[in-house]
Chain A
Amino acid sequence: MVRFLLTRLLHGLAVVWVVITLTFVFMRLAPGGPFDRERRLPPEVLANIAAKYHLDEPWLRQYGRYLLGIARGDLGPSYKYVDRGVSDIVAETFPVSALLGVLALGFAVAFSFPLAISAAYYRNSWIDRSCLFLATLGISLPHFILGALLIWLFSLQLGWLQPGRWEDLTSTVLPTITLGAAPAAYLSYLLRSSLVESLEEDYVRTARAKGLREATVLFKHALNNSLIPTLTVLGPLSAALITGSFVVEYIFAIPGMGRFFITAVTDRDYPMIMGVTLVYTGLLVSANFFVDLLYSIVDPRIKSH
């Protein structure tokens, strides 16, 4: 087990390193720099800025400087938010995105499990078809349409909730639903189809023949064995959800990290791009690591492989 964990950890670190290196190179290859403006800066002013951020050094040295910084836990200064470090910005915005992500994930799980179970159990009935319709709707509605619809209904028509900003519990409702709808639908699909498969397996028939209660057959035998595909997507899904969504944060004016995945690139704010990429990769790697751990609990055969 220890060896399994160590190998996984080393794999993870290698992935993080490769992503950092590739991001560093691609970022510099993209045309246009962080200080290219409509209002062109005189060369001497640009030279001072380049010197301040070591942009006048060779790439390799900048790369080395960056890696050393990471080792010290310093993600460098933001070129746009000039008084703040990337670490500060991530520390302030990540918890907001993470909270929203956890809420959305909770919403997705809470919504998808009952939906998928009832759809699979009553397959081909009107219940199944209604669940399928809901899931298709959830997957195909883009964030910005769903967000706008929710604002229109709950803020402007009914006046129940505020259209934007992250203030109290009620302000989390609309963004949570907007962000959680697509994963909820996706998880329902996935779980339903694997549950339908399981319900037709011999061991389920055997369990029923043995006279076990229907609930035990469904939840203990069938559901348990249908969880693997769902767990597989839950890892990357969690990483994606808790690092924030540009569109949802943009529409609802949420002070999260998601917006930086886009704005850092359009601003060519190199350290910020590296920072959010690093956080995302780190989370993705850790989430997959935990999913691997969970596999071995759900299905002990995996550990022995």
Chain B
Amino acid sequence: MLKQPRKSAIPSIPALITFFLLSSCNPFSQTGDLKTFRVNLGTEPPSLDWSLATDHASFNVIANLMVGLTEFDKNLKPAAVIAKSWDILDGGRRIVFHLRDDVLWSDGKKVQAQDFEYSWKRLLNPKTASEYAYILFDILNAEEYNQGKIDSPELVGVKASDDRTLEVHLKHPASYFLSITTFEVTYPQRQDLIERYGSKWTEPGNIVTNGPFLLSSWKHENEIQLTANPDFFLGKPAIDKVEMFMINEKTTAVAMYEQGRLDFIDNQSIPIFEKPRMAKLPGFKAVPQLRGYYYGFVTDRRPFDDVRVRKAFSMAIDRSIFPKILHGGERPATSWIPPTMLAQNPKIGLNYNPPEARRLLREAGYPDGKDFPQVTLAYNTLEDHKTVAEAVQGMWKRNLGVLVRLENQEWKVYLKKLKTDPPHIYRSGWGADYPDPDNFMKLFTSLSGNNDTRWKNPRYDQLLESAAREFDEKRRIRLYNEAQRILCETDVPIMPLFTTTEHTVLNPRFTGLEFNSMARLFLREVRPASR
């Protein structure tokens, strides 16, 4: 018998509110001046300390307060910011960054290579207990320092050889390492201030930054205000002030936008039912995200220890249904590396093919699903996940004759269960930390803590290692193609379903806002639209 998924109270609130608000669109009232830009963060940023931050709200504030060695260009390649150039030496084991000398901290001091050395070592210091410490584990002795195996930070392979030169020694060549330097957790920090103010160094009045905006006020759970940095080395932003609100409820945020009290909204602020209506507004944009949604098989549990069964299940899913039922501009995917990332290849993967799926299932000993054991598909409690699970359940019943049991759990209980008592099939997703295929593909290596499929393939591991050490793009793409074929065609421990899209609406009175494929909001170039 099917277990009815429990309905959570929270997802139903937006649905009900939307019901009331749907037909009630007021003409756009335009309050607010053109020097102030107002966005919704959706929630209180848990931390503005970029060694401790782990979430979008925090990073979206930090990304407007700070700049680092590099940033993404339009093609998601690392482009120079504080680093004016770099040399890759010793076959990729040593990277030397040459820094600009005109980047200033907001208290007038120059940004120096020592500020990077301090920040990176602070991220790795076990006492900092940073969740993202592992992002720098490719650096010589970094992991050992974080594990407490070596005490001296001097032995970690990052060193400011002078004020303008930062030298990084890696354990092994890593072609993706430059991409990591776009990530906020690698931004420089001021040792003097952190030591003076302790955990309060990120409060307004204490914090010193180097980016386009300055933190002028932070009313917790309520509002953050930024002001333009007149000394920003790329020039003062066109808007004087940014107000970042913390409105959790999406329908309230939409109402605020329609009343002219917000200038920009994204998925954080748009309820699913409002998406079709928002898509008609001027200033609407759909931004494909580097975020994949997949189902994983626990490959040591019968009957999914048989690759034919896994293939049959993947081939019995018509992925074109997802954008129709989720209304979020989802892009169906049969391969794992998301669109716009290097080595993305939509030709890889198992396409919808019910006759072939039935043949494979028959070959595995379950003609028309006969004698198929009771299996469970689990997901964490959320309306969207339920919608997807029910659609997939229906397709398996129709195409394979197999009725899969659905089971949902509260998020933390679900995560615990994946480790201790995994279901046959589980839902999961992944968003890029940095826009390199390594970040996506590494999930399913034998030793990855994120690999809940219990699938291991030494060839796959080896291909990823070779790709990481390879600097030639064409050769890297070939290596990832082969790895993706193993993952999505021959071994099939996972079935990628789709990649996500962010819907954004910008008040047409403004232009220049950049919202990238990692849901990062850059306000540096925002300016009034010319009439």
Chain A residues at the B interface, C-beta cutoff of 8 Å: 30-33, 35-45, 47-49, 51-53, 80-84, 89, 92-93, 144-145, 147-149, 151-152, 155-157, 159, 162-166, 247, 250-253, 255-256, 259, 266, 268
Contact = CB atoms under 8 A, between A and B. Distances in A.
Interface of B: 13, 16-17, 19-21, 24-26, 29, 44, 46-49, 52, 54, 126-131, 133-134, 137, 143, 146-147, 199-200, 202, 219-223, 245-249, 251-253, 255-256, 258-259, 261, 410-417, 428-430, 449-450
A80 B249 contact: no
A149 B220 contact: no
A147 B18 CA distance: 12
B44 A81 contact: yes
Given A80-B46, A81-B46, A255-B220, A51 B20 contact: no
A251 B9 CA distance: 13
B252 A163 contact: yes
B13 A31 contact: no
B137 to A, nearest CB: 8
Given A33-B412, A41-B134, A268-B412, A156 B249 contact: no
A149 B249 CA distance: 15
Contacts of A80: 46
Contacts of B52: 82-83
Q: Which secondary structure dominates chain A's binding surface? A: loop
Contacts of A149: 20
Contacts of B253: 164
Nearest to A39: B450
Contact of A250 (B249, B411, B430): B249
Contacts of B252: 151, 163-164, 251-253
A110 B54 CA distance: 46
Contacts, number: 168
B29 A255 contact: no
Sorted from nearest, which 6 A-B pairs have the closest CB atoms? A32-B412, A255-B221, A40-B449, A163-B255, A255-B222, A52-B129
16 contacts: A32-B415, A37-B54, A38-B415, A39-B450, A44-B146, A48-B126, A83-B202, A92-B221, A144-B13, A144-B16, A156-B21, A156-B25, A164-B249, A164-B253, A165-B223, A252-B252
A49 B133 CA distance: 11
Nearest to B420: A31
A42 B449 contact: yes
Contact of B449 (A41, A144, A152, A155): A41
Residue from B29, B147, B222 having most chain A Cβ neighbours under 10 A: B222
Residue from B143, B251, B429 having most chain A Cβ neighbours under 10 A: B251
Contacts of B126: 48, 51
Contacts of B128: 48
A238 B428 CA distance: 43
Contacts of A165: 222-223, 245, 247, 256, 261
A36 B415 contact: yes
A110 to B, nearest CB: 27
Contacts of B449: 40-43
Given A256-B221, A266-B412, 7 more contacts: A37-B54, A42-B134, A45-B130, A52-B127, A152-B20, A156-B255, A253-B222
A43 B450 CA distance: 12
B202 to A, nearest CB: 6
B125 to A, nearest CB: 9
A166 B258 CA distance: 18
A253 B246 contact: yes
B128 to A, nearest CB: 8
A253 B247 CA distance: 5
Contacts of B410: 32, 266
A138 B377 CA distance: 42
B146 A155 contact: no
B222 A37 contact: no
Contacts of B259: 155-156, 159, 162-163
Contact of B246 (A43, A145, A162, A255): A255
Contacts of A52: 127, 129
Contacts of B223: 165
A286 to B, nearest CB: 25
